Structure 1
Amino acid sequence: MDTQVRPVASRRLDWLNGETARWVSEGILTEETAERIKGQYVASHTGSLTRVISYLGGAFLGVGLLWLVATNLDALSPLMRFVGIVVVWLAFTAAAETLPLARPLRGAFRGIAAMSFGGVVFQAAQSLQVPAYEPSLVGLWGLGALLYAYASAGLAPLVVGIVTTMIWFDWQVVASSESTFAGVFAVLVGGVVATAMAALHDRRQEAFAQVWRLAGGVLVLGGLFVAAIPQIGDRDLGWSPVLLGALVIAVLLAALAMVRTDGLSRWEVLASALIVPIGLALVAWDPHVDDLGSVSGEAWLSAFVSIAVYVVVAGAVAVDGSVRDQTLLVVLATGALVVFTTMQSFAVFAPIMSGATLFLLLGVLLLATGFVFDRARRGVAANLGEALS
């Protein structure tokens, strides 16, 4: 009987090969049966390539639509401009939800629809003589994208919604309080919200959980990055109703996540919440670095503490991504650590040691830490195996 060969992702095929080899070694399967199972699958990169091309095309088309609206289309009347962008928005939404499209193309169409909704919002505001540089317009765009994401179970609208909502939130907080301190606080609180949302989605919507978790990592690492800059500027925390409301929402979501989840998800939420006061402490600590040619002992201590905190947090994000098999989290943490170390080498250590020296020292520290953790992990696994045997 002919067996249909099915294309699967290379990572899944590697997993299957490893598992069948283990089953053969344990006597669960014979060599012949294992070969027959593996012969039904073949590695394929077509789906990944199609997904990348579709999403890139959708992103370029969506940005192009927004750009087209931003240029005001002087050749058309305001009514025609508004009608035109509404037609585009509705057309892509209808096509994404009704046509029998391939999954990557459907996702791209949903992303275009979510981005073109922003064009509708800004064009409507322009027609109503609302100032274009108004954070509430971005907030309305983000809210619409999030509603569409959950109504359609679409990842692309979710990404658009999270990005635009966080831009609105931080913009609104900084504009209303005129405080850099408040801006960092807003980003870190957003990290708590995103991490709690990821935990709440873990059991039923794993794909949404991954997007929210990545957003939480970006916000946490981004907030700490700004908090550790010596020349951050204003260090007075200016409260605003938006910031207070977000803090209340973050506390409620974190508490709900702690109650409804367990294991790694609960630890993620707890860690993101603990990072908020740590980040605020880094902002409040002013090492008085006014002249890069003269670095005080306090500036030294501040920089070393900032780097230590960032190494620990970035390492935790990378480990989290590795445990959850979420490669983007690992890439994010690694890239953020490299950029942060580079920034610190120029901001504080430039008069004392070269950036290369700082990277060498940090590399030695990371390798030593990795060796110690690996030895500890092996010891725990061995002891656990003996206890269970």
Structure 2
Amino acid sequence: MTHTALLPTRSVPPHQLAWLRTEVADWTSRGIITPDQAARICETYRSDQHARSSIGRVLLSVGGGFVGIGLIWLVAANLEQLSPTARFVAVTALWLVFLASGEVLAARRSSPALVGAVRLLAALGTGAVVFQAAQSLQVPAFEPRLLGLWGAGALLHGYLVRAHVPFVVGLLAGLGWWFAQPLWDEQSGLTVVVLLGAASVLAAGLAVVHDGRLPRFARTWRTVAGGMALLALFAAAVPDIGSDGVRWTPWLVVTLAAAGLAALAALLVGNGVRRLEPVGALAVLAAATLLGLWSTGSDVSDVDASDWLHAAVSVGAYVVLAVALVALGTVREHSTLTWMAMSGLVVFTTFQSFAVFAPIVTGAWLFVVLGTVFLGSGFIADRGRRELVQALDSTATDVDSDGAPR
């Protein structure tokens, strides 16, 4: 009597199922499991026909995005043939239809791609409602507060229904507000650096808070944290970016306070070394601010010792950050962080080489120096990743004193 029919089946992407079958065949050939056990393992999983890379999913997502953006565009075009009240009612009705339809389809266990597309329409429709309401109230469409309201509404939608698509839309709109609002009245390069670093702290703290509760949301927050950290150090290394200093505004204080609260929450609810992630982001914020305040001049035709030292410290700090993100990506099994770190390191080193070293080291020697820096940085990052993987593997296969696996 077989028990296979009693086991629930799980849907996995085709490439994962192919990998599992290869591994199971290897285990069977080595006598680790019996053929009957191998069959039961394989029959427990089935191929996911709605894989993320499917053409249908892509088309539905793109179609939903076009329709949602079209709604916002229609608002911007002012729809002169309708009164402000009629426009607001029409846009709101469409938004409510998309909002309800997405949850009805999700309750009926419809195609995840279709549910995601309709939820995308609802999240974009939130922005259309906000901008239409602002237009009816004679509020300028370029007010940063509108982005903040849009982001808050879409984030609330994503959290209430545990949906990733509206969460991402809200996150993008919220990031737009995060930078636009403090720069609305006062603009300065160093303020941008501080905002990038603070965004990294906020996202790192929220990633830790979401771990174990909403893992997919945590993964997205962690991606944002890594990206903002890389951008913060990149911007801080631009020559003379901090010459105007930080322009303090109430909104800038609010954003920094929000980042501090997120870091504190991570320290309180996080487990083990996870709590150190926002601490690392705080270190990036401090380093980026100090590099931004370190003014060496912006004349590329006159590069002195201070310019060389600034560039060397900037590259060193960036390499440390890249290695840290590679390690974090390895520990969290987050390959996006690894690729972001390595790609950012290549772009950053190229920028520094041509902005600082090119006036002195010209022609073929510039490429020799640049290649040497790449080789050294790549060796350090790859060596650190390999040692971390070996340490993790040795920990996972740790044995008791009698030789039996623990």
TM-score when normalising by structure 1: 0.88
Matching residue's letter, 2:62: L
For residues 1-389 of structure 1, the aligned pairs below 5 Å read 8-13=12-17, 16-17=20-21, 20=24, 24=28, 28-35=32-39, 37-38=41-42, 41=45, 46-48=50-52, 49=54, 50-99=56-105, 100=108, 101-232=110-241, 234-290=243-299, 292-351=300-359, 352-353=361-362, 356-370=367-381, 372-373=383-384, 376-377=387-388, 389=403
TM-aligned CA distance change 1:374 to 1:243, over 3 Å: closer
TM-aligned CA distance change 1:288 to 1:134, over 3 Å: same
- In 2, distance between residues paired with 1:62 and 1:263? 42
Matching residue's letter, 2:377: L
TM-aligned CA distance change 1:374 to 1:165, over 3 Å: closer
Unaligned runs of 5+ in 2: none
- In 2, distance between residues paired with 1:111 and 1:231? 41
**Higher alpha-carbon deviation: 69-78 or 10-19:** 10-19
Whether the 8 Å CA contact 2:308–2:356 is kept in 1: the answer is yes
- In 1, distance between residues paired with 2:388 and 2:4? 43
TM-aligned CA distance change 1:353 to 1:55, over 3 Å: farther
**Higher alpha-carbon deviation: 96-105 or 148-157:** 96-105
- In 2, distance between residues paired with 1:346 and 1:223? 19
Whether the 8 Å CA contact 2:329–2:336 is kept in 1: the answer is yes
SS in 2 for 1:89: helix
Matching residue's letter, 2:102: A
Matching residue's letter, 2:72: L
Matching residue's letter, 1:323: V
- Deviations along 1:257-288, one digit per CA (max 9) or x if unpaired, are 11221234222122112111011011101111
SS in 2 for 1:176: coil
TM-aligned CA distance change 1:386 to 1:376, over 3 Å: farther
Offset, 1:323? 2.7
Whether the 8 Å CA contact 2:243–2:293 is kept in 1: the answer is no
SS in 2 for 1:337: helix
Structure with bigger helix share is 1
Offset, 1:350? 2.3
- In 1, distance between residues paired with 2:384 and 2:191? 36
Whether the 8 Å CA contact 1:235–1:284 is kept in 2: the answer is no
**Higher alpha-carbon deviation: 122-131 or 171-180:** 171-180
- Deviations along 1:340-385, one digit per CA (max 9) or x if unpaired, are 2232233222222466335412321134314643674587579865
- In 1, distance between residues paired with 2:308 and 2:200? 28
TM-aligned CA distance change 1:201 to 1:376, over 3 Å: closer
Offset, 1:336? 2.2
**Higher alpha-carbon deviation: 78-87 or 205-214:** 78-87
TM-aligned CA distance change 1:382 to 1:223, over 3 Å: closer
TM-aligned CA distance change 1:94 to 1:245, over 3 Å: same
Whether the 8 Å CA contact 1:289–1:295 is kept in 2: the answer is no
Q: Percent identity?
A: 38
TM-aligned CA distance change 1:319 to 1:130, over 3 Å: same
- In 1, distance between residues paired with 2:201 and 2:332? 19
Residues paired across the two proteins, number = 388
Offset, 1:386? 8.1
SS in 2 for 1:130: coil
Unaligned runs of 5+ in 1: none
Aligned CA RMSD, in angstroms, stands at 2.9
Whether the 8 Å CA contact 2:242–2:293 is kept in 1: the answer is no
- In 2, distance between residues paired with 1:216 and 1:379? 26
